Amino acid sequence: MGATLVRFASVSSQKGSTLCPEPLVQTSNTSLQSLNLLPEINMFPLDPSFSYNQDLQFHLLGRHLLFDELPFPIEQIHSHYLHGYLLYEKGIATSKNHLSCQRCGNDDPSLFASFACFRCKEDSCVYCRKCIMMGRVSQCTPLIRWTGPVPNVALTSHSFLEWEGTLSELQKQASKQMCGVVGKPKELLVWAVCGAGKTEILFEAIDRALQQGLRVCLASPRTDVITELSPRFERAFPKAGVVSLYGGHSELAAPSPLVLSTTHQLFRFEEAFDVIIVDEVDAFPYSFDPTLQFAVKKAATDQATRIYLSATPSKKMKRRVHTKQLEVIHISRRFHGYPLPVPEFKWCGNWSKLLKKGRIPPIIHKWIDNKLTSGVQSFLFVPTIDDLTTIHSILKEYPGIDSVHASDLDRIEKIRRFRKGEIRMLLTTTILERGVTVPGIDVGVIGADHEVFSSNALVQIAGRVGRSIGDPYGEVVYFHYGKTTAMVSAKREIKSHNQRAGFGTSR
Ligand SMILES: [Zn+2]
Ligand SMILES: [Zn+2]
């Protein structure tokens, strides 16, 4: 493995002054320093006569790694540096008093800390707290990237895609449009309603890219999306050697032309992908965290095709679509061809006050009774964990009800039991607004007027209903104590998708 040092010495050689990592320093009277304290790191011209290690090339190409992440002897790594095949970069760039992490792009002063460092022996070595879960980047840590030749990828005329399914007419059109942008330095938004079947729409375009020798990454802010997509992509592209990277499963395996990754894991890449597809581009934490956006930008080449997928794009993105700065594909019809369920508004009185008194508004109580006796499974969304606890304790006598929230350790198990039908009604915070798809459910929202329910959250929640072809309808009710703009705009948006899909305005 690479060494866990590292200080550097500035030594003179035939090539002029160059830096040398601690274990390779031969004289004892050389002063060793933190990388941070050394002047500019010089880059050597590529020496074409040097016989470079192809394993190292494969391991490092398109990546931005620490010594510890490179399973090669330090002598070998360093000799590649001396011959111009790789470059050391300062992990934390300092200019005046401004710090920025070169791996994750963090430059928020509150997200740096300093410590007495055993590696560089400085009393105050600054490190980045933002990306620490991927191994510490501090002022004395070099980030290493490949600067040598890039292997020629053979173009092939054969397809990598072994998917047997078929696309609807609308999906076909979208797929064709997407194929048209692959390989071009373009941005494209795929605005597909919940249940449109957007994964299948990507297949053809990805295949096209692979045939052109392009490297493709599908990134999502959410681990559960990657774990769900990973087997589907392995089945669809069995010969592409699909690599999936997410927390707890992030070994840098053999390089692959098709990588599925959480946006977090992209910190370790640099100019690695010619096509980058970001799924759920509006989802937390991507939409709130500029360093994840930095990671996506850094992982893609300058000329990359960028494709964004969303059922509920942000206001900013919609504005770019409106002003024609961003090309868009609308997929307003679900894969099964039925319209999106339109939410119903039901006034329920001052729900918050009643809950504080340990009571559920009668109209909601009736809805719950009705669901449980009719046998229809349901999600009941509530604004806060406190409300969740209150409602669950009021309903504790009812069999078949359980509750779930973000920090619930049994979350996955409860969702599994809901899927199996053992749980009939799941009380939930907005944690289940996305991702989890269960056929044949109805959805209620208690306190839809609460501020946690943004317009996009309400659209996503409604999107849980009617997902299967066997049961394409279902009920969505927003219980409220006064309509909010978010509620009205969510309903308007759902109706306008249906209209765009040709369903008229009757509902
Ligand atoms: Zn960082
Ligand atoms: Zn240090």
Tens of pLDDT along the chain (507 residues)?
334 567 888 777 776 677 888 888 877 767 788 888 877 788 889 999 999 999 999 889 899 999 888 889 999 999 999 999 999 999 999 888 899 999 999 999 999 999 999 888 889 999 999 999 888 999 999 999 999 998 777 677 789 999 989 998 889 999 999 999 999 999 999 999 999 988 999 999 999 999 999 999 999 998 888 888 999 999 999 998 899 998 877 676 667 899 999 999 999 999 999 999 999 888 877 888 888 899 999 999 999 999 999 999 999 999 999 999 999 999 999 999 999 999 999 999 999 999 999 999 999 999 999 999 998 999 999 999 999 999 999 999 888 999 999 888 898 899 999 999 999 999 999 988 887 889 999 999 999 999 999 999 999 999 999 999 999 999 999 999 999 999 999 999 999 999 999 987 544
Nearest-ligand number for the alpha carbon of 139:
2
The answer on 359 and 310 residing in a single domain is: no
The answer on 49 and 194 residing in a single domain is: no
Q: Please tell me the distance from the alpha carbon of residue 353 to that of residue 361, in angstroms, as a whole number.
A: 10
Nearest-ligand number for the alpha carbon of 100:
1
Query: What is the distance in A from the centroid of ligand 2 to the CA of 105?
Result: 19
Query: What is the distance in A from the centroid of ligand 1 to the CA of 302?
Result: 22
The answer on 125 and 12 residing in a single domain is: yes
Cβ atoms within 10 Å of 296's Cβ, excluding its own: 23
The answer on 381 and 279 residing in a single domain is: no
Nearest-ligand number for the alpha carbon of 123:
2
pTM, full prediction: 0.85
Query: What is the distance in A from the centroid of ligand 2 to the CA of 184?
Result: 42
The answer on 281 and 132 residing in a single domain is: no
Considering the domain boundaries, does residue 155 fall inside one? no
pLDDT score at 5: 61
Query: What is the distance in A from the centroid of ligand 2 to the CA of 242?
Result: 36
Q: What's 295's domain CATH number?
A: 3.40.50.300
Nearest-ligand number for the alpha carbon of 142:
2
Nearest-ligand number for the alpha carbon of 264:
1
Nearest-ligand number for the alpha carbon of 33:
2
Considering the domain boundaries, does residue 157 fall inside one? no
Considering the domain boundaries, does residue 424 fall inside one? yes
Nearest-ligand number for the alpha carbon of 137:
1
The answer on 493 and 388 residing in a single domain is: yes
The answer on 215 and 182 residing in a single domain is: yes
Residue 440 and residue 470 in contact, taking contact as beta carbons nearer than 8 Å: yes
The answer on 308 and 223 residing in a single domain is: yes
Considering the domain boundaries, does residue 221 fall inside one? yes
What's the number of domains the chain is made of? 3
The answer on 298 and 260 residing in a single domain is: yes
Query: What is the distance in A from the centroid of ligand 1 to the CA of 137?
Result: 6
Q: Please tell me the distance from the alpha carbon of residue 68 to that of residue 72, in angstroms, as a whole number.
A: 9
Nearest-ligand number for the alpha carbon of 35:
2
Query: What is the distance in A from the centroid of ligand 1 to the CA of 100?
Result: 8
Nearest-ligand number for the alpha carbon of 5:
2
Query: What is the distance in A from the centroid of ligand 1 to the CA of 138?
Result: 9
Strand order in the sheet with 441-446: 344-347, 476-480, 441-446, 377-381, 425-428, 401-404
Last residue of a domain, one of 303, 331, 359: 331
Query: What is the distance in A from the centroid of ligand 1 to the CA of 14?
Result: 35
Considering the domain boundaries, does residue 207 fall inside one? yes
Nearest-ligand number for the alpha carbon of 294:
1
Considering the domain boundaries, does residue 507 fall inside one? no
Parent domain of 74: 8-146
Nearest-ligand number for the alpha carbon of 114:
2
Q: What angle do CA 137, 143, 149 make, to 5 degrees?
A: 160
Structural tokens at position 83: 């011959």
Query: What is the distance in A from the centroid of ligand 2 to the CA of 90?
Result: 11
Considering the domain boundaries, does residue 339 fall inside one? no
Query: What is the distance in A from the centroid of ligand 1 to the CA of 105?
Result: 6
The answer on 353 and 314 residing in a single domain is: no
Considering the domain boundaries, does residue 158 fall inside one? no
The answer on 117 and 34 residing in a single domain is: yes
Structural tokens at position 407: 């920090």
pLDDT score at 26: 78
The answer on 205 and 122 residing in a single domain is: no
Q: Which residues fall inside 5 Å of ion ligand 2, going by CB?
A: 117, 119-120, 125, 138, 140
Calculate the CA dihedral of residues 279, 281, 285, 287 and round it to 10 degrees.
170
